[in-house]
Structure 1
Amino acid sequence: MSREDPTTADDTDDTGPGSDRATADRPTADRPPAARATPHRASWWRMLGRDRAASVAAVVLTLVALVALFGRLVIGDRAQRQDLDASLRPPSVGDGVYGLLGTDVLGRSVLARLVDAAATTLSVAVPAVLCSLVIGAALGLWAGYHGGRRESVALRVADVILSFPSLLIAVVVLYVFSPSALNIVLILAVARIPVYLRTARAEAAELRSRLFVDAARTFGTPSRDIIRRHILPIALPTLLTVATLDFCFVMLTESSLSFLGIGIQPPDVSWGLMVAQGRQYLQSAWWITVLPGLAIVFTTVSATVLAAWARIATDPAQRWRLTLPTKRRGASAAVPPELIP
């Protein structure tokens, strides 16, 4: 019986020590670093759970959203109910649930007014951000993809709007017209459109020269389909991160306008209006002003922290950082996961 040729045996046998199957069957510890399987991509909830600051921020924003959506159904008219005998009562556990955070000068529950104000504040900030996001992103993607004169015109319009401070525009317009929630939403939405327009334009201008966009254009795909299918999904994480940060700015602007007396008007109530109404009682009844101020601070800080987390989570090149244990992130911040022992 003739002996097989070693070269032929090595080529036909896929279970030898140098074959792919043998490498796959070899224990992970015995494989070289390049052959080790990369860790599976962690889910969004797992990445969020490993970041304590982002988790707390997400819980705070969720509570604020739930209070804004369902709080008025629970409190009824308690936010407007007056009781002069209970004027300026400090926070106490002996006055029932609605007395936990004290009362204002008219005896109204501060807790109930905080709940009512949360709905008013978010009903202004969220629509303003969504309107500016949709309009600005659509114009920016369209202008950035086509370029040329359309891009120049869009950028000049954005520059004109940005040349006027948004708070100053809001003050002038609301002083001329009646201050209402709808007018505030329209003014803030128009003032924030250039932010999304310029961001989306930069993303589209960078992506329009990519090979996959050229391939889609070569096959005759319409421009609107290229923007919707190929450019928008890549630019969307950046736009959502900007929107989260812009939510803080819009909410602070609404609170500033209400504090100045040209924003939300009584009998409606917002957090900024509550701060304004209680500032003259700051020494004798601090809770009227401090508590809505803390609500503004906690909400804006939580949105900022969550935006920073979302920026990393939506970046494929940086997402692996969130899969590391918290105690190893500082030392392994610049080391890819396959090189971590």
Structure 2
Amino acid sequence: MTRDEPPVEDEAVASSARNARPSRWRMLRRDRAAAVGAVVLTAVALVAVLGPLFINDRAQRQDLDASLRAPSLSDGVYGLLGTDVLGRSMVARLIEAAGTTLSVAVPAVLCSLAIGSGIGLWAGYHGGRRESVAMRIADVILSFPSLLIAVVVLYVFQPSALNLVLILAVTRIPVYLRTARAEAAELRSRLFVDAARTFGTPSRMIIYRHILPIALPTLLTVATLDFCFVMLTESSLSFLGIGIQPPDVSWGLMVAQGRQYLQTAWWITVLPGLAIVLTTVSATVLAAWARIATDPAQRWRLTLPSKRRPAQAAVPPETTP
């Protein structure tokens, strides 16, 4: 063996370590609930993005002769889930409403995630007066219920999707600001951060290269849970009549429009409500899985067979005989 060639033992150890470390995809497949949640969310996203390309104007096309027609297989694909009071296809309206609901929830979560995380990491790393000012601003925003702020603002100004995104993004900024501040405040005293500071690395590069990659899994888990809250808030505001306005349609607006026909045409209200429940529950389950999968101290739980997880949930596998 020459001096330039790595030892065979080192290669074997490295190879066994790589094989012993499970991939995220493998851990997701082992958790059936999280896998189902991921499939549901993927299906909802695909329907929201690609669905409008196939339905054209069927979500707004009226046919009074087909008013309140029950779900049936005899009317084709667009009659599979019935029609509303104006004879519009529930399948087409659910597809269009999925795009509207996600077009409000996703931008609101991304905007609040980017702004709140940036301010929180900056304030947590520098500390002192900057941290105090950022936290007091977050406390002021959190002192008002987000739903109440949205109701007041949308009542004063014109209800629209843009205003809805802006108000939801502003009210959710403190959630990410406080989380990012706590992560940065804990990481700024670590040895690798002190080493980067000693070598003269600028503060913004330390935050971007060293602190953000460690805090990002936690922030993404919070964002997944916050997506449920934002979507439910949008549905609530649309149900109250100050969210999405006709002729646009969202799941919350569909529930509001069909509540007076609940006894005669249950599908108008139940189907969009079921879509809201499935999406939020799937996101919640996936967020719980992501929290464990991104934590090195808890990741071993997902590598156990599903039958052994409840019995050995408290002891890592390497400590068991």
Normalising by structure 1, what TM-score? 0.89
Q: What's 1:315 paired with?
A: 295
Greater Rg, structure 1 or structure 2? 1
Aligned with 1:64: secondary structure?
helix
Please say if residues 38 and 338 of structure 1, whose CA atoms lie closer than 8 Å, have aligned partners that are also in contact.
no
- Equivalent position of 2:111 in the other structure: 131
Q: Distance in 2 between matches of 1:237 and 1:44?
A: 13
Shift of 1:330: 1.1
Pick one of 231, 240, 247 that aligns with 2:211.
231
How far apart, CA to CA, are the structure 2 residues paired with 1:334 and 1:199?
Answer: 26
- 1:153 alignment partner AA: V
Once residues 137 and 319 of structure 2 are traced to their aligned partners in structure 1, the CA distance between those partners, rounded to angstroms, is: 48
Q: Aligned to 1:260, which of 221, 233, 240?
A: 240
Equivalent of residue 275 in structure 2, options 292, 295, 313: 295
In the alignment, does 2:52 pair up with 1:72?
A: yes
In structure 2, distance between residues paired with 1:72 and 1:340: 54
Q: Gaps (5+ residues) in structure 1?
A: 1-20, 26-35
Letter in 2 for 1:263: G
Asked if 2 retains the 8 angstrom alpha-carbon contact of 1:275 and 1:289, the reply is: yes
Using the alignment, how far apart are the partners of 2:97 and 2:282 within structure 1? 18
- CA distance in structure 1 between the aligned counterparts of 2:238 and 2:196, rounded to whole angstroms: 50
Deviation at 1:336, TM superposition (A): 1.9
Residue 335 of structure 1 deviates from its aligned partner by 2.4
Q: Does 1:205 align with 2:205?
A: no
Deviations 1:153-209 (A, max 9, x none): 000000111111111111111111110000000000000000000000000001111
TM-score, scaled to structure 2: 0.94
Question: Does 2:306 match 1:326?
Answer: yes
Deviation at 1:38, TM superposition (A): 9.5
> Which residue among 150, 153, 156 is the counterpart of 1:176?
156
- Kindly provide the amino acid, as one letter, of the partner of residue 62 in structure 1: T
AA at the equivalent of 1:242: V
Match of 1:107 in 2: 87
Give 1:37 deviation, angstroms.
Answer: 7.3
Give, in angstroms, the shift of residue 338 of structure 1: 2.5
For the residue of structure 2 that corresponds to 1:78, the secondary structure is: coil
Deviation of the 1:320 alpha carbon: 1.1
Distance 1:306 1:37, change over 3 A: closer
Q: Which runs of 4+ in 1 moved over 6 A?
A: 36-39
Q: CA deviation at 1:262?
A: 0.3
- Residue 209 of structure 1 aligns to a residue whose secondary structure is coil
> Which AA in structure 1 matches 2:112?
S
Aligned residue number for residue 158 of structure 1: 138
Q: 2:167 aligns with which of 181, 187, 204?
A: 187
The answer to whether the aligner puts 1:273 opposite 2:232 as a matched pair is no
- How many residues align? The count is 311
Residue of structure 1 equivalent to 2:317: 337
Q: CA deviation at 1:131?
A: 0.1
Which amino acid is 1:290 matched to?
V
Cα RMSD, aligned residues only: 1.8
- The partner residue of 1:84 within 53, 60, 64 is 64
Q: Which residue of 2 aligns with 1:248?
A: 228
In the TM superposition, what are the counterparts of 1:138-153 in structure 2 within 5 Å? Answer: 138-153=118-133
- Other-structure match for 2:3: none
CA distance in structure 1 between the aligned counterparts of 2:223 and 2:283, rounded to whole angstroms: 10
Gapped runs of 5+ residues in structure 2?
1-7
Could you tell me how far apart the structure 2 residues matched to 1:143 and 1:336 are?
A: 36
Measured in 2, the distance between the counterparts of 1:248 and 1:131 equals 15
The alignment status of 1:51 with 2:31, answered yes or no, reads: yes
Could you tell which deviates more after superposition, 90-99 or 330-339? Answer: 330-339
State the SS of the aligned residue for 2:74. coil
* Distance in 1 separating the partners of 2:121 and 2:253: 38
Q: Secondary structure at the match of 2:115?
A: helix
Residue 334 of structure 1: how far off its partner (Å): 2.1
- For 1:286, the equivalent position in structure 2 comes to 266
